[in-house]
Structures are given as C-alpha cells and as structure tokens.
Amino acid sequence: MKTERGKGHKFILRLTIIACLLFLTGCWGKKEVEDLAPLLGVGFDQGEQPGTFLVTEQFARPKKDSSSGAEIEDRTFSVEASSVREAFEKFSEVAYRTPFMGSLKVIIIGEDFAKSGDFNNILDFFQRYAEFRRSMYLVLAKGKAQDILNLKLRSGLLPAMAIKSNIEGGDEISVFPTVRLGHYLTILGTKSTAPIFPVVESVKSREGVEYKEDGKDEAGEIRIHGAGVMHGDYLADYLTDEEAKGYMWLENDVIHRLINTVDLNENSVKFGGQVLKANTKYRVKVNNDKMEIQYQIKTSIAIDEILGPQKQLSGLEWVELVKQAEKDFAKVIEKECESSIKKERELGLDFLGIGRHIEQKNSAYWKTIKDQWEAEIADFPISLEVKVTIHHSGMSSSSASNSGGEGQE
C-alpha cells in the first residue's frame, strides 16, 4: 500500500518537473534578441513647450550584410515629452523593436537644457529602472544633444559609440574628467562638492582640426574638450581646457598625459613629453594660524621633443637641460592647477572637492565651516607643491643640428 502511495508521489513529482520544464523555460515577457533595439545613447534638450524636453535616442541596428555580424547602423529618433517614460512610449509607437536599455553607453545633456535645470529629475529614471547600469557615461554637449547624436561621423561610428570610445581612450591624455552615472550620484550625495561633466562638441573642418569635407557644411568629427560645472541642477559654467587639465591633476585623475612647455616665456628651449605616472596627495594643515590645504603632485615624465637647442650637448649640459625641463614642466602643471583653483574661487563652487578633502582629513574643523563653505571657497588657503622627475629624454641626447662637422666645438 505504502509502495503504491510512494509511486503515486513520484509520478506527481515527475509530472510537476516535466510541466515546469515545458512551461517555465523562460521568463514572462521574454524577448528574442532579434526583437530588441539596443539603446546606445540618449540626449536631452530643452523642449519647445513649457515643462517638456526633447529626447533623442540612438539605437543600434545590426547591419544585414555585415560580414562580422558586429557592424551596426544608426537608428535615431527625437521626440518631445514631459517624462522619459513618455518619450519611450512615443518611440515604441514607431519602432518595431523593443528598446533594450541595458546597452546604454552615454547620456548627453544639451547646453540649453543643462542651463535651464531639471537635470536630476530626468536622471531619476536611469538610476531607478533596473535595466540600466550605473556604469554609463554622462557628458554635456556644446550646443544641442540632438545635433551631436545626429552627426554622420567620418569614422563611420555612431556618435554614441564614438563618445564612449573617446572617453575610454581618455586615460592616454587625461585632459577631461570621466563621469559615470554612479560617480555622479555619489558626488551628488556629498552635498559640498559641485559635480562636473566632460563636454562633447562637434568639430567641423578648420575648427582646430582640418580634414577633407564631404561637400556639406556639416561636422564630421567629434571631440571631448574641457568640462562643465554644475550648480545643483543647472550648468553654472564651462572649464577651459587648461582649467580642466588643472582639475585632473588636483583630483589625482591623471593616468598619462601629453604635455609641453611651449606657452612658457621664461625659457627659449621648449619641451614636449609624456606623463608616465602621476600621483596627487593632499594635506590639511595649519599654516600661520590658518588652516590650509596643500596639494603635493608628483609625476614622472619622459621627454619626447625638445625645441630650441641647436648644438650638440656635452654630458653635463644634457643633465642640466633635463633639470631645466623638470622645472618647466612643474611650472606648466602649477599654472594649470592655479587656473583651476582660480575658477573654483570665481564660481564659488567646490568642483575640486576641497571641502570633502577637509572633511576627510579634519572632520572637527570641517564641522565648524561646512555651513558657510560656499563663502569660504573664495579665500580658503590652498598651496601647491609640484615635483617632476624626468625619467629619460628619448633616444638621443641632443637635437639634430647642422653643427659644422664631426668633433667640432
């Protein structure tokens, strides 16, 4: 009798397992990959109607005749909506594929929209909806985000992918900040620090770079240059290239850099080089009865280029030249940092995170000044100490010159 019951139980169990295998093979609402439209970039601009914004979404469409299967084509739409969800609803009405948000690489904020505020409201969807990842990049656009996403780049890349590639290759030059959504939200939580974004802009021929145009007066290239400082929800100001570079030093964000001393007037010999490594530390200390923050920047540079000397150098001269280069590079770095600090003081916005540094090192002192920190920024003492070490001067000791013959003085 018991055996019969046991057999019955086993039969029911097997039946249940088979039913599960048959009916629970996928999740509810599953979508085949070919039915999905991977979202690569989203842009936000000011809408024409009050309370609306223009959302531009760039989707990838796999190329049908692609040999590798990895090539994609552009599918970009713009709609005006009051919320991001409403925008997606409108996209879904025209797109036959379901948007897949997990592939989103970059969010672009148009200049007018950034200046008008309401920026954090639209970001709520991106940090709340589970399909998104906090590793996506945030950038500001010079001009409209829609124009950036609609560019036909000469490289053949979609603008969203080109921006992603530029940012990910940014470590080589370290001239603009990298801001992921997660980083931005963390900075937002500190309250005292003003967030900062890299700025993306389209580049027409002869706008700093020359290239062969395809006949139309349209930009064919894109670049990331400088940064924008946010005050709460809106864009307060842009940082110039030099100010952004200073920010990178002070934030310890320099991985590698290409650097030159061409703009220094003190010395007729100019150097160009590559930063091999860099490290910035800071100390909060008392100086003349006043608290100050002292930045210590240490960097190693390899000289790749020397402009000016027209003679063969002796061993001693070679060493002296390298020492001169160390001083000159240090001056350039100091200048970049000082221009960044000057901007911070002018704006009264702590994009360098100095308040947070003070809190980290001397929380008791920070508690006494945090409520009036924005006013304190203007004259809070900051000092700099830059130490440059030249590792080598490349493959030659002297520049090539017409010195009059071998062995001549």
Residue ranges in contact with other proteins by CB under 8 A: 16, 24, 27-29, 102, 130, 133-135, 182-183, 185-186, 188-190, 252, 356-357, 359-364
CB 60 to other proteins: min, Å: 16
CB 374 to other proteins: min, Å: 19
Per the CB < 8 A criterion, the answer to whether 99 and 92 are in contact is yes
Is the CB of 52 or the CB of 362 nearer to other proteins?
362
CB 251 to other proteins: min, Å: 8
Tokens of 350: 């702590």
CB 5 to other proteins: min, Å: 11
The whole-angstrom separation of Cα 159 and Cα 147 is: 10
Break the chain down into helix, strand, coil percent, rounded to 5: 35, 30, 35
CB 124 to other proteins: min, Å: 11
Is the CB of 252 or the CB of 397 nearer to other proteins?
252
In the chain, the amino acid numbered 274 is Q
The whole-angstrom separation of Cα 376 and Cα 159 is: 41
Instruction: Please enumerate in sequence order all residues whose Cβ is within 8 A of that of 329, keeping only pairs 6 or more positions apart, or say none.
Output: 259, 261, 271, 273, 299, 301, 388, 390
Is the CB of 306 or the CB of 382 nearer to other proteins?
382
CB 115 to other proteins: min, Å: 26
Is the CB of 21 or the CB of 130 nearer to other proteins?
130
Which helix (H) or strand (E) is 8 found in, with range?
helix 2-23
The whole-angstrom separation of Cα 167 and Cα 137 is: 8
CB 98 to other proteins: min, Å: 11
Is the CB of 358 or the CB of 386 nearer to other proteins?
358
Using a CB cutoff of 8 Å and minimum separation of 24, what contacts does 125-131 make? Answer: 125/83, 125/84, 125/85, 126/84, 126/181, 127/181, 127/185, 129/101, 131/100, 131/101, 131/102
Q: Write phi, then psi, for 341 (nearest 5 degrees).
A: -65, -40
Is the CB of 245 or the CB of 357 nearer to other proteins?
357
Ramachandran area for residue 117 (φ above 0: left; ψ -120 to 50: alpha; else beta): left
Distances (CA, A) of 351 to 141, 182, 191, 242: 19, 17, 11, 15
CB 135 to other proteins: min, Å: 5
Is the CB of 135 or the CB of 389 nearer to other proteins?
135
Is the CB of 68 or the CB of 408 nearer to other proteins?
68
